[in-house]
Every structure is written in C-alpha cells, then in structure tokens.
Amino acid sequence: MLKALFGATALALTAGSALADPALIYDMGGKFDKSFNEAAYIGASRWVEETGGSYREIEMQSEAQREQALRRLAQSGFDPIVMTGFSFADVLRQVAPEYPDTKFVIIDDQVDAPNVRSLIFSEDEGSYLAGIMAAMASESGTVGFIGGMDIPLIRKFGCGFAQGVVATNPDARVLVSWTGSTPAAWNDPVRGGELARAQIGQGADVIYHGAGGTGIGILQAAADEGILGIGVDSNQNALHPGQILTSMVKRVDNAVYDAFSQGEGLEPGTYVLGLAEEGVSVAMDEHNRSLVTPEMEAAVADATQKIIAGEIQVHDYMSDDTCPVAGF
C-alpha cells in the first residue's frame, strides 16, 4: 500500500515536471469529415495556436485499433487523452482503471470512472431549434430527417428536430429515413442522395441530416433539387451557400480546447453541454443570411430562452428510448 502510494507520488512528480502533452483520437470517419471529428481538430488547432503546445493525434482505421491506441497513448505518458465518439465507451471502461494517473475525456458517451471526463451534448435541444427553422422555412408543410446508422444517439437528433417542427407547425409532416444499420451507413453519399430524392418525392422541402459523410450526398441532392438542407455537427453552411438553411453545431471544438487547456488538472465527471452551456447552437453566417427571416431569428431566440429557463422541455430520446413525435 505504502509502496503504491510512493509510486503514485513519484509518478505525479515526474509527470508534473515534464508536463505531458495531450493526445486526441479521432473516430472512424476521419479527421477531415467536415463534421464531428473535424470540429475536434479545429479545437485542438486553436489550442496549438494560442499556447504553442504540441499534441499527438491518431485516426482510427478499424474497430480493432481502439484499445491498442488507447493503451499505447496512456503508456507513453500522454495526458489528458481525448477521444471523439461513443464507440470508445466500452474500451475506455476497461482501460481507464488500469491507468489511474492518466485523465481521459470521452465525447458523446458516459463512462463512470474517477479519471474520466464524459462530455454529453444536448443534441436534442440544438435539433429542436433547427426544427423550428425548418418548419418556418417549409412551404409544403413536409420536412425530412435522414439519419446515418440507426442508433439511439442519432434518434436523439431526429427526435429533437421533430419536436421543434411540430411545436412550430402542428400540422407539419416529418419524414424519417435511415441510411443503414452498419457503420458503412456513415459513408454512402450515393444512397444518401437517393434517400433525399425519395423524401423530396414525398413533398419534403427542408431536409435535416445526421449522417456524417453520407450527409454530403444528402446536402448535394437537396441543392441539386432546389430545396433546403440542414447541416450537422460542424458548420456546413458553406458547402452550398444559399441552399443550406442552417447547421446544428456541436461545439466539440470548445470541448477539446477546454480539455487541452486544463491539461492534467481537468476535473473528471459527467458534463451535459446544452444550450445553456453553449454546447450546441444553430449556425448563422453570411452563407445562410438570405434564408433566415427576422421571424425565424426571433423564434429561435425565444425558444432558446425558454429551453434554458426550463419552460420548454425537449424530450431526450436516449432517456427512455421513446419519442413523443411519431416516426421514431
């Protein structure tokens, strides 16, 4: 016991004097996915610019690499180790207790361990705002949601969106499609484009996607067919200026930036980042300026206030695997 204690102190001392570098692991989909992982990269780059520090990064190429990558980084003394994506949760539950002196940060899932910070975004709240805008922009009264792989996390996006739509226009119809049930569903833009066309055929004139790389095809088809798309995770407004209503942005960049800035001293625990914490938002910039009416902005600002104040409760799909709006 005493020996272990000494060992720990010695390790803490050396770690403190050397000031370990942080590390960042990107999930499959890749660093430049114009979406989730890229947001993490942007946060890390901002930290590098401001502090001049350096960090190690690894991109996952296959499922089997996760555990190996985590262990290697922990053994090499990187601290903290940030990983993007819920897929790391199972591996982290095993690995975290073995390296009690290393801090881990997981985005998008919860791992209960004394040295892990879990960051969960309230995508339902951000998607709710996107739903309000979609309902107001739609002339046909039909809007669509296309998810990537059919998992509860993505249903959380879609359910929040549908609630926002229905709250704004109770008669609106929300179409729901899924790209697939395997990880390949994140990288099939052709199928995404056809799904978008199928929804357009059913009358949809605003389509929101939560489909990673598949979403590129969805937004392309929406632009080709002259309807509006809504981006996700990163600000995708610039992909088709004037044809993307907005993007539901998850501030993964801030999460990574904060973790890197706090370094080894970061506080473990579970944090939920919603509208109040500015963890999610709808993107407004010069690319969608012409599409956003003053009424839309007012409605979004109003809903934001009410959600923060607790007057509007957005139902979180993941809390009980149900959604108050049909289709999920």
Which parts of this chain interact with other proteins (CB under 8 A)?
Answer: 30-34, 38, 175, 177-178, 180-181, 184, 187-191, 193-195, 197-198, 201-202, 213, 216-217, 220, 224, 239
Min CB(26)–other proteins separation in Å: 10
In angstroms, what CA-CA distances link 249 with 38, 128, 135, 138, 172?
Answer: 12, 12, 18, 21, 24
Longest dimension (CA), the chain: 72
Q: By C-alpha distance, which of 195, 228, 225 is closest to 211?
A: 195
Give the nearest distance from C-beta 180 to other proteins in angstroms. Answer: 8
Nearer to other proteins, 107 or 219 (CB): 219
At closest approach, how far in Å is the CB of 190 from other proteins?
A: 5
Nearer to other proteins, 236 or 288 (CB): 236
Question: Least CB distance from residue 142 to other proteins, whole Å?
Answer: 11
Closest distance of CB 195 from other proteins, Å: 5
β-strands 228-233, 116-121: how paired? unpaired
Question: Which CB atom, from 89 or from 238, has the smaller least distance to other proteins?
Answer: 238
**Looking at beta carbons only, is 83 or 195 nearer to other proteins?**
195
CA distance 89 to 257: 21
Q: What is the SS3 assignment for 114-157?
A: CCEEEEEECHHHHHHHHHHHHHHHCCCCEEEEEEEECCHHHHHH
User: Whose Cβ is closer to other proteins: residue 125's or residue 188's?
Assistant: 188
Burial group, residue 65, by CB count within 10 angstroms (0-12, 13-18, 19+): middle
